Amino acid sequence: MKYFNIKDPKEQLSFKEATIQGLGKNKGLFVPEKIEKLPNSFFENITKMSDVDIAFTVMYPFVKGSLNKEELQQILTETFSFSTPVQPLFKNRYILELFHGPTMAFKDVGARFMARCLGKFTQNNKNVTVLVATSGDTGSAVAHGFYNVEGVNVVILFPKGKVSPFQEYQMTSLGKNIHTVEVEGTFDDCQALVKQALHDKELNEKVALSSANSINVARFLPQMLYYFFAYKQLKEKLANKKWMVSVPSGNFGNLTAGLYAQKMGLPIHKFVAANNDNDTFYQYLQTGKYTAKPSVSTYSNAMDVGDPSNFVRIQQLFNNDKNAIKDAILGFPVNNKTVLEKITELYQKTNYIIDPHGAVGLVALEHFLHNDEIGMVLATAHPNKFDTVIRKVIPDFKEPKVDLSKCFKESIKNSYNDYVKKIIR
C-alpha cells in the first residue's frame, strides 16, 4: 500500500516511511491510495473471530510491504492487551468503552500500535526521538505506549498547571526513555516548540525526529479497529436496524477512522460528530464553509480544538463533495451546562457514570436517534480522568490517588534553546 500526501499527491511513501516521517511536504497529511471493501464472508463470520483476527484482516492491506504477517500479528496482540466492551445504557442506546487501556483513554490504541511499529522500523537504525505536545490525554497514552520501546526516545511537552494531576502523574511517573518537560506557557506554546523543532534543519541533522499525534498514519489507522469489534458485539441486536454512531470529536481522527471502516463495508448508517463549544465542524455542516477558530476551554478539554487536523482527510475521502459529507455525518454542538445535566440524568436513571466527553457524545446521539435505530456512543475516556468535573454533580465520586512526588519531569520557560538541549541528551 502506498500513502500519498493530500497537499502534494506526487509525494508517495510506504507505510513504514509515512510512519517515520509523520507529515508530508507543506505539512500535508498522508492518506492510503485506496480503501478496499472487505468480502461479505468477513462480516458473516465476524462473530466467530477473535478481536486480533478481525484486526489483522482489516489492517493487513494497509501495512503490507512494511510489516510481514507475523510482525503485524504480534503488534496487534500487544496493542489489544485490553478489551473494548459495548455496554447497554438504556432502551436502544449503547456505549463503546474505549477506556480500559493503561491510560484510560481511546488514544492508548493508536499510541500502542504506533509505538510498536516505530520500534520495528527503527531496529538496526539510529534512535528516533518522538516529540509530542499535549493538553493531557495524548501525552499519557504516548508515554505508556512508547515506554521501554527500544530505539525510541520520547519528549513530551505539557503546559504547566493546565493538565489534571492524574494526567500529569500518568505522563511523568515512568522515566527511562520517556522525558517530560513542563512548559511555562499554554498548549499552543508547546505545540509551537514541537513544530519549530520538527522544521529545524540543523537539529534534524543531529537527531532523527518524529511526532506522535493523530496526523501519523500509524496512530490514526488502528482506530478503525474498535468499530469492527463493536459490530461483532452488536451484530445480533442490529439485525435489520439502522446503526447510528456518535463520536465525541476534537481533531476528528477517531471519527475519520470510523468513516474508513464504513468504506470497508461496516454497516454504519450515520455518524454523529459531537462537538463541544469548539464547533468548527458543526458550523461547516450548517454553512458549507470551513472557518478555523481559536479554541475555547470546556469540561471536555480533549475536544477543545478549533481547527481539526483530520478535516482534510474527510474532504479527501468524499472527493470534496460537501453534500456527500453532510449526508454521511450529522453534527451537534453541546455546551458545558448540558454536559453536567446529562451526566446527572444518566447517573440517576442507570447508575452509569459517563465522562464529560462521552456525555457530549450521548447528548448529540439522542438529538438524532429514532426508536427503531440502534445508537452507540464512543466513551473516549474513563470518568476517573475527569473526576473534578464529575464531582460537580456527583459529589461522592472519589478522587483517584496520585503521588506527584514520584515524578520525572523538567521545566523550561518556553525557551527553544533550553528545549533543544533536552532533545539532544
Binding-site ranges for ligand PLP (CB under 6 A)? 105, 107, 137, 214, 248-254, 302-303, 357, 380-381
Q: Quick check: 209 and 197 in contact, CB under 8 A?
A: yes
Q: Which is nearer to ligand PLP, 173 or 309 (CB)?
A: 309
Given the complex with ligand PLP, which of 46 and 139 has the nearer CB atom?
139
CB of 401 to ligand PLP, least distance (A): 21
Whether 107 is catalytic:
yes
Nearer to ligand PLP, 14 or 191 (CB): 191
3-state secondary structure of 68: coil
Torsion angle, alpha carbons of 204, 209, 214, 218, to 10: 120
What is the residue whose three cell numbers read 498514519? 217
Largest Cα separation within the chain, whole Å, is 60
Separation of alpha carbons 24 and 234, rounded Å: 38
Query: Judging by DSSP bridges, how do beta strands 93-97 and 86-90 pair with one another?
Result: antiparallel
> Nearest approach, Cβ of 28 to ligand PLP (angstroms)?
19
Confirm if 219 and 253 have CB atoms less than 8 A apart.
yes
CB of 338 vs ligand PLP, minimal distance in Å: 17
From the CB of 417, what's the least distance to ligand PLP, in Å? Answer: 30
φ, ψ for residue 174, nearest 5 deg: -90, -50
First to last CA, the chain: 36
Q: Which residue among 107, 160, 162, 270 is the active-site one? A: 107
Rounded to 10 degrees, the C-alpha dihedral 306/312/317/321 comes to: 80
Residue 170 or 214: the one with the smaller Cβ distance to ligand PLP is 214
CA nearest 256: which of 213, 210, 309?
309
CA 329 to chain CA centroid, Å, is 18
**C-beta closer to ligand PLP: residue 155 or 302:** 302
Establish how many alpha carbons lie within 13 A of residue 301's alpha carbon, considering only the half-sphere containing its beta carbon: 17
Cite the DSSP H helix spans in 221-335.
Answer: 225-238, 253-263, 280-287, 311-317, 322-328
Closer to ligand PLP by CB, 76 or 302: give it. 302
Residue 106's nearest CA partner among 78, 57, 140, 65 is: 140
Provide CB contacts within 8 A for 83, sequence distance 6+.
Answer: 51, 100
Q: Please, which residue, 100 or 241, has the CB nearer to ligand PLP?
A: 100
Smallest gap from residue 253 Cβ to ligand PLP (A): 3
Q: How far is the CB of 115 from ligand PLP (least distance, A)?
A: 17
CA 172 – CA 284 distance, rounded (Å): 38
Rounded distance between C-alpha atoms, residue 242 and residue 416, angstroms? 52
How far is the C-alpha of 377 from the C-alpha of 364, rounded, in Å? Answer: 9
Closest approach, Cβ 318 to ligand PLP, in A, equals 17
In whole angstroms, the minimum distance from the beta carbon of 90 to ligand PLP comes to 22
Name the residue nearer to ligand PLP (CB basis): 121 or 169.
169
Provide the pairing of β-strand 128-133 with 152-159: parallel
Question: DSSP 3-state assignment of 271?
Answer: strand
Active site amino acids: 107
